[in-house]
Amino acid sequence: MKRRNTITALLFLLLTAAGLALVATSFLGGEGKLEGLLKTAAANRDPGALLEGAESAVNTDLDRDHLFIQLYGGVQRLSGRKVIQDMVEGNTVAKLSTGALNFVTLGAAARPGEDAARRAENTAELAEALAEQDIPYLYLAAPQKLQRGVQLLPEGLEESGNAYCDAYLEHLDRLGVGYLDLRPLFESNGIYSNWFFNTDHHWKPEAAFFAWQYLTSHVELLETPAALTASDSWETTVLEDFFLGSQGKRVGTLYAGTDDFTIYTPKFDTSLTYTNSDGSFTRTGPFNQSVCFPERVAQRDWFNGNPYTYYSGGDYGMAAMVNHNNPDGPRVVLLRESFGCALAPFLALSCSELVTIDLRHFTGDLLETIGEVEPDLVLTLYTASTTGLDNMFEFIKTE
């Protein structure tokens, strides 16, 4: 009796996996090994062949190390689930009405309150302290994946990041702190959701490039020759089905598919040196070998790779990009989080030196460090999410 139950359970799992492999084929294209095995077994009326070869085929088709993530995500898609809870807080994934994924926090959405005012006051203190050193400051509000005024989340869930950003910027206005809100730029150009990855919360390289073009025409110190910023001055290479973002990694490729990833290569001469302040690397050469990391896209690895770090290499406490072709350009400090990865290499082309500081990893005295750099401009780039603002202002000390 027990053996019969075991065989029944095994057959159920194999058939489930088989069904999911067929789903995977329809989602991602191409015939997998398991689908071929199913066709052969059906044609020969030989279920034994299915049992003998199924394990190997499933492991090949669905990635042995992440088989259960793949199967679980596939089952959730087949069952129409819009929210997949995760045991790790903050990693619960919701499927938006666009089909893209987004991390969500279950329960009542946070509302902007005193925190927005307090953080704006902290920002004003930072701007004032920099002004005493004759250093201008500008806050850049990066867009988040959830568009303002559009209900994208499943029923019962609310987003608060945009409302928080609105309240924060209103306080900056009141305090006289300069800022640029990048959200209208993406809302009024193209399809908003197309600026973001489906399986990750970050903006695409296309969005970062577009933001750079905008900044060079709206921030006087960043004015850059059109020969550099024009789209036709760059070659783009699209790596298809290459990226599985942090949200997609929680639910697998069968739940929402994968993303393409775009490589930008300048058609003009570039020469930069990129140095991490901890001494872990110094890279010198053209754009795609210095401030970009081609080793991060050498092969497709959905679960273990992170092609997003092709640009800038990742999140470092402090790093510097020196542009040897623009020695008379401005020296800029960029206070950033992960959205800055995609923007920084482009922004460096508008500078003589771009120093990036990620306050989540930075351990020094911020004002003292900025003073030592002697920048012509300090920028802050953060998303409109409450979490991003928390990361920033927890570490700003102006006393």
Residue-wise pLDDT for 177-232, tens only, equals 999 999 999 999 999 999 999 999 999 999 999 999 999 999 999 999 999 999 99
Tell me how many degrees the CA angle 17-22-23 measures, rounded to the nearest 5. Answer: 95
Same domain, 211 and 333: yes
82: in domain:
no
Classify the C-alpha dihedral 83-86-88-93 as positive or negative: negative
Residue 54 reports pLDDT greater than 60: no
Same domain, 280 and 348: yes
Instruction: Please identify, among 20, 45, 62, the residue that sits at the C-terminal boundary of a domain.
Output: 62
28: in domain:
yes
Same domain, 24 and 130: no
Identify which has the larger pLDDT, 229 or 88: 229
Same domain, 50 and 147: no
Averaged pLDDT score across all residues of the chain: 85
Residue 367 reports pLDDT greater than 50: yes
Instruction: Please identify, among 27, 44, 62, the residue that sits at the C-terminal boundary of a domain.
Output: 62
Q: Which residue has the tokens 């929402």?
A: 256
Tell me how many degrees the CA angle 52-57-63 measures, rounded to the nearest 5. Answer: 140
Mean pLDDT, residues 329-352: 97
184: in domain:
yes
Residue-wise pLDDT for 254-297, tens only, equals 999 999 999 999 999 999 999 999 999 999 999 999 999 999 99
Same domain, 176 and 309: yes
pLDDT at 11: 45
The lowest-confidence range among 15-19, 365-369, 383-387 is 15-19
Return the closest-CA partner of residue 268 out of 287, 248, 244.
Answer: 287
Identify which has the larger pLDDT, 56 or 290: 290
Are the C-beta atoms of residues 227 and 234 closer than 8 Å to each other?
Answer: no
Instruction: Please identify, among 62, 78, 99, the residue that sits at the C-terminal boundary of a domain.
Output: 62
Mean pLDDT, residues 109-118: 71
Same domain, 178 and 308: yes
52 phi/psi in degrees, rounded to 5: -70, -40
Same domain, 221 and 134: yes
Are the C-beta atoms of residues 354 and 215 closer than 8 Å to each other?
Answer: no
pLDDT at 390: 55
Reduced 3-state DSSP string for 336-358? ECCCHHHHHHHHHCCCCEEEEEC
Query: Which amino acid, 31?
Result: E
Q: Which two tokens stand for residue 200?
A: 């990750």
Determine what percent of the chain is predicted with pLDDT higher than 70: 77
105: in domain:
no
Identify which has the larger pLDDT, 16 or 210: 210
pLDDT at 16: 56
pLDDT at 369: 95
Classify the C-alpha dihedral 42-43-44-45 as positive or negative: positive
Same domain, 133 and 259: yes
399: in domain:
no
89: in domain:
no
The lowest-confidence range among 48-62, 106-120, 249-263 is 48-62
Q: Which residues of 206-222 are buried (b: 16+ CB within 10 A; e: fewer)?
A: bbbbbbbbbbbeebebb
259 phi/psi in degrees, rounded to 5: -115, 150
Identify which has the larger pLDDT, 21 or 267: 267
Residue 84 reports pLDDT greater than 50: yes
Q: Rg of the chain's alpha carbons, rounded to an integer?
A: 24
Residue 298 reports pLDDT greater than 70: yes
Same domain, 230 and 332: yes
pLDDT at 50: 47
pLDDT at 63: 62
Residue 359: domain span: 114-393
Residue 343 reports pLDDT greater than 90: yes
Same domain, 254 and 153: yes
67: in domain:
no
Same domain, 301 and 202: yes
Q: How many domains does the chain have?
A: 2
69: in domain:
no
- Tell me how crowded residue 376 is: count the other CB atoms within 10 A of its CB: 18
- Which own/partner pairs from 208-215 qualify as long-range (CB within 8 Å, at least 24 positions apart)? 208/311, 208/339, 208/342, 208/343, 208/346, 209/234, 209/264, 209/346, 210/185, 210/186, 211/142, 211/182, 211/185, 211/343, 212/343, 212/346, 212/347, 212/350, 214/182, 214/185, 215/140, 215/180, 215/347, 215/350
Same domain, 290 and 371: yes
